[in-house]
């Protein structure tokens, strides 16, 4: 049986988020950001390498309304706050995986 993967020290695995690395370079790998509520998705600043955001719930954690939103950097679709979310800073949209 393979060994278990280590649990990252931070939610996003970004060197700048964990404080474990002073480099400002963005990682080349695709990343997943985890947030508690859907409303928190808009606060995730888009960056190179960001692929998806996982939310644990809509109004409370584990209420069944969370899910996966894919970041699409060139999207200009109208944001509705649930299926399509505009970041408060940066460009693009987060699209809910349905």
Burial of 41 (0-12, 13-18, 19+ CB in 10 A): buried
Distance, in Å, from the CA atom of 7 to the CA atom of 87, rounded to the nearest integer, reads 27
- pLDDT at 7 > cutoff 60: no
What was the pLDDT predicted at 29?
A: 56
pTM for this entry: 0.69
- Span 24-81, pLDDT tens digits: 554 455 889 999 999 999 999 999 889 999 999 999 999 999 999 999 999 999 999 9
Scan for tokens 């993967």, then name that residue. Answer: 5
Q: Give the ranges where 10-95 is alpha helix by DSSP (H).
A: 15-18
- Residue extents of the structural domains in the chain: 15-96
Question: Do the Cβ atoms of 55 and 2 come closer than 8 Å?
Answer: no
- pLDDT at 5 > cutoff 80: no
């Amino acid at each position: 049986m393979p060994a278990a993967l280590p649990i990252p020290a931070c939610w996003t695995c970004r060197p700048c988020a964990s404080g474990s690395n002073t480099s400002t370079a963005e990682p080349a790998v695709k990343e997943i950001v985890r947030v508690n509520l859907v409303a928190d998705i808009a606060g995730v600043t888009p960056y190179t390498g960001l692929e998806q955001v996982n939310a644990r719930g809509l109004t409370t954690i584990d209420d069944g309304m969370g899910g996966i939103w894919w970041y699409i950097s060139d999207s200009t679709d109208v944001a509705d706050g649930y299926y399509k979310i505009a970041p408060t800073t940066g460009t693009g949209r987060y699209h809910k995986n349905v």
